[in-house]
Amino acid sequence: MAIATINPATGETLKTFEPLNDAEIAAKLDLALQAFEEYRQTSFSKRSHALQKAADILEQEKAEFAKVMTLEMGKPFKAAIAEVEKCAAVCRYYAENAPSFLADVAVKTDASHSFVRYQPLGAILAVMPWNFPFWQVFRFAAPALMAGNVGLLKHASNVPQCALAIEDIIQRAGFPKGTFQTLLIGAAKVADLMADERVKAATLTGSEPAGASLAAAAGKQIKKTVLELGGSDPFIVLASADLETAVVTATTARMLNNGQSCIAAKRFIVAEAIADKFEKLLLEKFEALKIGDPMQLDTDLGPLATPGILQDLNQQVQAAIDSGGKVLTGGHPLSDRSGNFYPPTIIKDIPHDSSIAKEEFFGPVALLFRVPNIDAAIKLANDTPFGLGASAWTTNEQERDRLVEEIEAGAVFINGMVKSDPRLPFGGTKRSGYGRELSIQGIHEFVNVKTVWVK
């Protein structure tokens, strides 16, 4: 795959980049190693100051960064602005909290003095996706840099200008040279990087096959990985739910990032008693969405990121129809314009046990299922290889407790949309990956947890 900026709203190639050759990659790895030896000795105060400066740059230049995001991968400009603001927030969160998260922890034992110390590992490789091209990187970089590690970013090949902009932000913020470097390379180079002794660990956000490939390469070298992979998140609406609020949130949760989010609601599981009304209201909301130029502030839904994603999504929709599904709206690419546009789509009556009902649809397609009760809702919610997030709607306390306890997911949101928050750990279970980002758990993923015993 070429490393290039191709506007998904028009199909126009705006800029191409030459991948790094082996000598250039080696030079960057050497620089990372040298930078780490110096940077690991810096104080939390210096790291915090630089990270706060990065947040300042993000906030001051958010419109410029948002424009680059929208041009490269098509998210609505207003959503891109919000993404940059969230990146600034995660920088400030770790700048303020990392010193306490990484402070020595005293433990009473038979020693005169025993404690746990957290120390950095070295160069961490981040293999990041295009769908949140700034946020995914900063939610890795902020804790990694505060812990004293250095970062190597292998970003998706369709967002090279985002990748270079992030490196520039971190350099301008005052982090030492080589502390964070972007590697403009293809996916084929990742296994070689994992085999290099200068790379100590890796994190990947992306597809299931990409995660499996990285984990296999890291496993051969006995190097730690954190994986945040796909999701087929359920959105459960039970009879006691606040239906109007649930429908509004359901629309937002499915259309997030033009439907291209691992934690977007994808399978809408609705109690039979309210299913007709929910279906009618959801259809109205979907058909009222404005599709168009993502640079316009009144656009609700922009293009999918690449022609391949558009094709894959349409094939899944056709497979859902072939399995018995009925399309209520949408169901085919928009042919009246250039670009990778797919309309808001609702499909109902897909057999619960069909293979297509368990897949992840990475685009603005909602699968609508009816269930008789909470038992069936939980069973269907869990009947997927994935376990990233789940949203469930009820005003019944006993139902709430069951949903929290029994849904197999890394996060369960009751009466709210699944979202990431710097204050809460983020990650999945089953084939949605392992490890956690954000919060205290996220900063502890890439440190040596050292036991110290003194007598």
List, for residues 200-222, the tens digit of each pLDDT value.
Answer: 999 999 999 999 999 999 999 99
Percent of the chain scored above 90 by pLDDT?
A: 100
% of the chain at pLDDT higher than 70:
100
- The predicted model scores a pTM of 0.98
Question: Which pLDDT tens digit goes with each residue over 249-260?
Answer: 999 999 999 999
Domains of the chain: 3-229+432-454 (3.40.605.10), 233-421 (3.40.309.10)
The label of the residue with tokens 């609601």 reads 265
* 91 noted as active-site residue: no
Average pLDDT over residues 408-434: 98
At residue 13 the predicted structure's pLDDT band, cuts being 50, 70 and 90, is: very high
Q: Quote the pLDDT of residue 408.
A: 98
> Does the pLDDT value for residue 1 go beyond 90?
no
| All residues at 6 or more sequence positions from 336 whose CB lies less than 8 Å from its CB, including other chains | none
Indicate the pLDDT class of residue 399, thresholds 50, 70 and 90.
Answer: very high
Confidence of residue 373 (pLDDT cuts 50, 70, 90): very high
Catalytic residue among 72, 83, 167, 228: 228
Q: Which band of pLDDT confidence, cut at 50, 70 and 90, is reported for residue 338?
A: very high
What would the mean pLDDT of 324-345 be, rounded to a whole number?
97
Q: What is the pLDDT of residues 273-301, one digit of tens each?
A: 999 999 999 999 999 999 999 999 999 99
pLDDT tens-digit map of 63-118 = 999 999 999 999 999 999 999 999 999 999 999 999 999 999 999 999 999 999 99
Tell me, what's the pLDDT at 181?
99
pLDDT digits (tens, 9 = 90+) for 375-388: 999 999 999 999 99
pLDDT at position 411 over 90: yes
Q: Examine the pLDDT at 303 and tell me if it is beyond 90.
A: yes
What is the band of 169 on the pLDDT scale with cuts at 50, 70, 90? Answer: very high
User: What mean pLDDT is predicted for residues 182-187?
Assistant: 98
Q: Is the dihedral of CA 373, 379, 380, 382 positive or negative?
A: positive
Report the C-alpha gap between 1 and 188 in whole angstroms: 10
Across the range 178-184, mean pLDDT stands at 98
Which residue in the list 87, 91, 162, 262 is annotated as catalytic? 262
Instruction: Give the model's confidence band at 329: pLDDT under 50 very low, under 70 low, under 90 confident, else very high.
Output: very high
**Interstrand relation of 389-393 and 233-237 (parallel, antiparallel or unpaired):** parallel
The rounded radius of gyration (Å) of the Cα atoms in the chain is 23
- Average pLDDT of the chain? 98
Over range 325-354, report the average pLDDT: 97
Please indicate whether residue 359 is annotated as part of the active site: no
